[in-house]
Chains A and B, each alone.
Chain A
Amino acid sequence: MSAVTERRHVRRDPVNALLGVWGIVVFVFLFLPILMIVIYSFNDGRALVVWKELGIRPYVDALDNPTIRNAIFTSIRAALGAALIATVCGSLAGIALARRSGRWTIGFLALLFLVLVTPEIVDAISLLIWYVRIGGPFGPDNDILNYGLFRLWVAHSIFATAVVTLIVRARLAGLDEALEEASADLYAPPAQTFRKITLPLMMPAVLAGALLAFSLSLDNTIISSFVSTANASPWPVYVFSSLRSILRPEIAAMSTLVLLLTLFALALVAIVLRRGGQSGEEAAAMIVGVEAAPK
């Protein structure tokens, strides 16, 4: 026993060293495939997986390819719309759950749980059937909007709404309701209390939820491949379909550009969150949608 306790004070503790090594091994594991994509985005050959020579042609070709450009723009538009729907619906539901719970909560949480545990392929086929059945704005008759895009917005926002709801609820549940009561006691009208007290306090959660919803939409392959239409086909669907023909280095090039953009956006959000008084750790936790340890 004493040997163990004493060893704790020795700087080179074997267990800690092992944990450190494991940490590095896991980091290498996590980054190796991403590194491969970045390296092979400079592969000046015909096939992605066969290295030929170093070059920037994949980047030129990727930006030149109208199908790839369309796919990226579709993805971004789909993600913006889905994030907007999910953030509005999810934030409101989160407020309702945290501040106005009642008998309805049980039913709502049950539905939320079902949304979260249903495998994506089931959502995909059920939405396909549903869209075909109801038509309307989700069918070719929709001449105001691109109905493919409309399908993606709704399809991508369902799971994301559930996630945003939980994040916002967790944030509000961790905040003292007395702040809002004090505001009301000081004769602030409800709208003002909401705008000046509740909204700023829940903002980090709303922002984190919106980001997560955006990213979930960008990432979505299974649902998109079922519900998207030929003229609104997002980026992952393009990549997935090229698996069946030939994987070209342009895919790696465009993915690297998307990765850079994502990192830039993440850094921006981290800065915003830190300015809002979150520690780096809290900001990072917020971005993945988990509530950091209460301090």
Chain B
Amino acid sequence: MAAGTAESDVGAGAERPRRRAPRFVLASPAWLLFIFFFAVPVLFIFWYSFGYKPDIYRTIATDQLSFDRYVESFSDTFRTVFSGTLQISIVGTILCLLIAFPFAYWLAVKVPPRWRGILLGLTIIPFWTNFLVRTLGWLILLQPNGALSGIMQDLGLIGSPLDVLDTREAVQLGVIYNYLPLMIFPLFVALDRLDPALREASKDLGANRWDTFRQVTLPLALPGVIAGLLLVFIPLTGDYITAAVLGGAKGNMVGALVASQFNTAQNWALGSAMAVILILMILGSVAIFAVIGLIGRAIVRRRRRVEIEPVTA
């Protein structure tokens, strides 16, 4: 196993010819794992989505394939849940970015370096606390007769006991909370990598703070922003645990529909079709974001070029 690893491509080979393992050999355990326990099972989902449920005792039959389960999936209930899920995940991802960016900027740039390690360590703690348990923390916090409700009433912020549990707002809050760390880390890394000298140079060249942010910091932090958006959006769209804890009956997400087809309805064909729609929904959204991003970049570049050309001419 180690025989293939340490050799360099140019160094030793010429001096001591030896049999070399094919290049991908070290990756083969991972290959096997991914193909046998990811790719093939997911292909089964695609296949099953064209099947049907033959009777109440059996979960799946695939002797007749059709698109019927997809048609069935687009019932009114599913469409409502579908658009609701998309709304929660898009709003949640954007709010995560808006909350995390100033925070990550503060942590990476403003906080004195000797404090930075400790504060970064502190932000890791929620990330390392069990997802479900953190959500239960909100369940306690948002109780109508709980402490937060009492304090808010005492301050006169709300007239009656807090009534937010089992609503979409509670789900929205919960997902923002649960996925916020996944936005903070990539942003922090991107901003931390940024050489302070670049901002200094921008300032020395007469840019004000806003210009420096818009033209130096933000473009250089863009890879972190994109990573954060993907890291939050993808799992958030598939999540239904947060909704199950905080949303009650109103917190239905596409993931919960899929799960219920497998857990209660025992209709694997319909559940598979819904899962495929969920995958397409996520990939489609990511593709749309990517296209918007690329168009935006092209526009910005074109505008920049116009600004620069007279100077170089």
Please report A residues at the B interface, Cβ cutoff 8 Å.
1, 4-5, 8, 15-16, 19-20, 22-23, 26-27, 29-37, 40, 48-51, 85, 88-90, 92-93, 95-97, 99-102, 104, 108, 111-112, 114-130, 133, 154-155, 157-158, 161-162, 165, 177, 180-185, 188, 190-195, 197-198, 215, 218-219, 221-222, 226, 235-236, 239-240, 243, 247, 251-252, 255, 258-259, 262-263, 266, 270, 279-281, 283-285, 287-288, 290-294
Do the beta carbons of B141 and A36 come within 8 Å of each other? yes
What residues on B are CB-neighbors of A100 within 8 Å? 4, 23-24, 26
Instruction: Please measure, in the bound complex, the distance between the C-alpha atom of A101 and the C-alpha atom of B27, giving whole angstroms.
Output: 10
Do the beta carbons of A121 and B48 come within 8 Å of each other? no
Beyond A284-B120, A293-B189, whether A119 also contacts B27 by CB under 8 A is: no
Do the beta carbons of B5 and A198 come within 8 Å of each other? yes
Q: List 26 A-B contacts (CB under 8 A).
A: A23-B107, A27-B122, A50-B143, A89-B30, A93-B30, A96-B25, A100-B24, A102-B24, A104-B23, A114-B39, A117-B283, A119-B235, A121-B278, A122-B45, A122-B238, A154-B33, A161-B34, A180-B11, A198-B5, A215-B128, A247-B136, A266-B128, A280-B120, A284-B117, A288-B124, A288-B127
Do the beta carbons of B29 and A243 come within 8 Å of each other? no
Do the beta carbons of B40 and A125 come within 8 Å of each other? no
Do the beta carbons of B23 and A102 come within 8 Å of each other? yes
Beyond A36-B137, A92-B27, A119-B234, whether A183 also contacts B275 by CB under 8 A is: no
Check if B290 is an interface residue, CB within 8 A of chain A: no
Beyond A37-B140, A117-B286, whether A127 also contacts B235 by CB under 8 A is: no
What residues on A are CB-neighbors of B313 within 8 Å? none
Name the distance in Å between B2's Cβ and chain A's nearest Cβ. 4
What residues on A are CB-neighbors of B117 within 8 Å? 279-281, 283-284
What residues on A are CB-neighbors of B192 within 8 Å? 281, 285, 292-293
Beyond A100-B24, A126-B44, whether A183 also contacts B6 by CB under 8 A is: yes
Check if B77 is an interface residue, CB within 8 A of chain A: no
What residues on A are CB-neighbors of B113 within 8 Å? 281
Do the beta carbons of B116 and A281 come within 8 Å of each other? yes
Please report B residues at the A interface, Cβ cutoff 8 Å.
1-8, 10-12, 23-27, 29-31, 33-35, 37-42, 44-45, 48, 99-100, 102-103, 105-107, 110-111, 113, 116-141, 143, 145-146, 177, 180-181, 185-186, 188-189, 192-193, 203, 206, 208-209, 230, 234-235, 237-241, 244-245, 255, 258-259, 262, 268, 271-272, 275, 278-279, 282-283, 286
Residue ID in chain B nearest A282 by CB atoms: B117
18 other contacts beyond A239-B133, A285-B188, A294-B193, with CB at 8 A cut-off? A1-B208, A29-B180, A36-B138, A37-B136, A89-B29, A101-B23, A115-B38, A117-B283, A122-B42, A123-B42, A126-B41, A129-B48, A158-B34, A190-B2, A190-B7, A191-B6, A281-B116, A284-B120
Beyond A93-B27, A239-B133, whether A198 also contacts B141 by CB under 8 A is: no
Instruction: Please measure, in the bound complex, the distance between the C-alpha atom of A65 and the C-alpha atom of B123, giving whole angstroms.
Output: 32
Instruction: Please measure, in the bound complex, the distance between the C-alpha atom of A30 and the C-alpha atom of B100, giving whole angstroms.
Output: 11
Instruction: Please measure, in the bound complex, the distance between the C-alpha atom of A33 and the C-alpha atom of B180, giving whole angstroms.
Output: 14
6 nearest CB pairs, A to B: A33-B137, A119-B238, A280-B117, A193-B6, A126-B41, A184-B12
Beyond A19-B102, A37-B137, A126-B41, whether A281 also contacts B31 by CB under 8 A is: no
Do the beta carbons of B12 and A185 come within 8 Å of each other? yes
Do the beta carbons of B193 and A293 come within 8 Å of each other? yes
Do the beta carbons of A34 and B136 come within 8 Å of each other? no
Q: Is the interface of A mostly helix, strand, loop or mixed?
A: helix
Name the distance in Å between B18's Cβ and chain A's nearest Cβ. 8
Beyond A26-B99, A40-B140, whether A99 also contacts B5 by CB under 8 A is: yes
Q: Out of B119, B132, B188, which one reaches A236, CB within 8 Å? A: B132
Do the beta carbons of A32 and B25 come within 8 Å of each other? no
Q: Is the interface of B mostly helix, strand, loop or mixed?
A: helix
What residues on B are CB-neighbors of A29 within 8 Å? 99, 177, 180
Do the beta carbons of B6 and A219 come within 8 Å of each other? no
What residues on A are CB-neighbors of B6 within 8 Å? 180, 183-184, 188, 190-194, 197-198
Name the distance in Å between B97's Cβ and chain A's nearest Cβ. 13
Instruction: Please measure, in the bound complex, the distance between the C-alpha atom of A191 and the C-alpha atom of B124, giving whole angstroms.
Output: 36
Do the beta carbons of B126 and A34 come within 8 Å of each other? yes
What residues on B are CB-neighbors of A40 within 8 Å? 140
Beyond A30-B126, A92-B26, whether A37 also contacts B103 by CB under 8 A is: no
Do the beta carbons of A258 and B130 come within 8 Å of each other? yes
Name the distance in Å between B228's Cβ and chain A's nearest Cβ. 11
Instruction: Please measure, in the bound complex, the distance between the C-alpha atom of A180 and the C-alpha atom of B110, giving whole angstroms.
Output: 39
